[in-house]
Structures are given as C-alpha cells and as structure tokens.
Amino acid sequence: MRESPPVSGWSGVHARGSSLAWAIAAALAVAACGQNAALYDPSPEVLNLEAPDSFLVDIETSEGTFTVKMRRQWSPAGVDRAYHLMEENFYAGARIYRVVDGFVAQWGYSGDPVLDSVWRDHGLPDEPTVASNRRGVVAFARGGPETRSYQLFVNLVDNERLDRLMSGGVEGYPPIGEIVEGLEVIDGFYGAYQERMPSQDSIRLLGNDYLRRDYPQLDSIISTRVVGYWR
C-alpha cells in the first residue's frame, strides 16, 4: 500500500541489467575505501550491533534541530538499526520528501542510490507495536513483512490508527522514539508538494539528483549526532 500510510515504497520499478550491476559493484568498491566503509559494506557485527537501552540523538535539519529519545524497549531491532545509522550519519543530505499535513513527515533515502541499495537488502524482523504513534513519535516505514530498513517517519499529529493498521499483511508501525525537544521544527517542514509527491522509485534510482531538479524546496537533514545514552 503506497497511498495513505507511511511505507517503504519497495514495490514498483527496479533497476536491472548487467551494466548497472557492474556500476553498483564498482561504486561499492570505491566507497568501501572511504570513511563510511561500515555503511557501504556492513559486517555481521555491525548488523547485529545492540544499541543502548535509550539514547538521545540531535537531528539537524534545514528547518532547525530536534532531539529524539530512542527507546529500545519499544522496538529492539528498530532502535539497534537507528542507532547505527544515526551514529554513522547515514541521513546527512537526506530529503524530507513526504510531508502530509495532519499526518506524517517521512525521510530515509540517503540521496545515494548505491548506499540505499545496500541497506534495502537488510530488512529488519517484524516486531509488535508496544507504544502509540502519537504526535512527535518516530517509527520505521514499511510495506510488508521484514521491510523496515532505513526509512523513518515522524507523526505530525496523534495517529493511533497506525498502531494497528495492516500493511502488506503486517499489523502496525512500531515506534522507536519520541521528540523531546524541538517539536515545533517538524511543523515547519516544506509540504507544498502534497499534490505531486516525489516518486519513490525515482528517488531510489536517481537519488538527490532527481530531488534537487524536480523538488528543490524540500527540507533536508544536515546531520545526526548521538548526544547521550543510558544502559
């Protein structure tokens, strides 16, 4: 389902062809030599990294900074993944590409199709929804079983119906954290593209080149920084 609930958007056009596969392999080899090698080639240890019981992360955006408290008891697998991606600044440059007034703001694509392709193959196990999707609560988007990977959304209003909403045969969107400072920032995200939302297939294939060209006013994430934690 791609219309109303936040979803990961995996259905639709997929890149194929030996030339593209070669290009991705070559890009991975180059990227693995850089400072974010752990992102482009995650080891089993990285994929199984356990986050603190809770942690604070500052998310700096073009609209301002808000702070999220992640709670591992809400979604252990989800918070473990978020901790690693936030620590490695995976979302730096990511556009907040879906803003629906009175509903959610969603981001996740890094802007680099090669990097996104790596993490799309590492879906998380499904977990029950133990907290509620209230205003300011953050959760992973998904479109079916074990499709949570890197796409996140924040609830702009109380969306308790998402706690039990079925998506691809899976019930609910398990929260992973809540905004504890800067809640007003999310209200300022640019949302004038609601009548013509970006295509997730195009973002997946073309990254930020597509968004800069066709959706230049989207807000973006500048950096993520873990600023405290509890074990």
Residue pLDDT, tens place only, 126-183: 999 999 999 999 999 999 999 999 999 999 999 999 999 998 899 999 999 999 999 9
Average pLDDT on 192-217 reads 96
Q: What is the pTM of this model?
A: 0.85
pLDDT at 12 over 50: no
The Cα 84–Cα 42 span in angstroms is 10
Chain centre distance of CA 130: 20
Average pLDDT on 81-99 reads 97
The Cα 172–Cα 174 span in angstroms is 6
What Å distances lie between residue 103 and 42, 211, 227, CA to CA?
33, 22, 28
Position with higher pLDDT, 27 vs 84: 84
pLDDT at 79 over 90: yes
Average pLDDT on 47-75 reads 97
User: Which CATH architecture fits 18-230?
Assistant: Beta Barrel (2.40)
Indicate the domain borders of the chain: 18-230
Mean pLDDT for all residues in the chain: 88
Q: What's the N-to-C CA distance of the chain in angstroms?
A: 37
The Cα 96–Cα 100 span in angstroms is 11
CB 174 within 8 A of CB 133: no
Residue 115, phi then psi, degrees to nearest 5: -65, -45
The Cα 67–Cα 12 span in angstroms is 34
Q: Determine the length of the chain.
A: 231
pLDDT digits (tens, 9 = 90+) for 64-76: 999 999 999 999 9
Alpha-carbon dihedral 113, 108, 121, 78, rounded to 10 degrees: 160
CB-based burial, 25-42: b 16+ in 10 Å, e otherwise: eebbeebeeeeeeebbeb
Which pairs with CB-CB distance under 8 Å and at least 24 residues apart come from 10-14?
A: 10/120, 10/143, 10/144, 10/147, 11/143, 12/200, 12/201, 13/201, 13/205
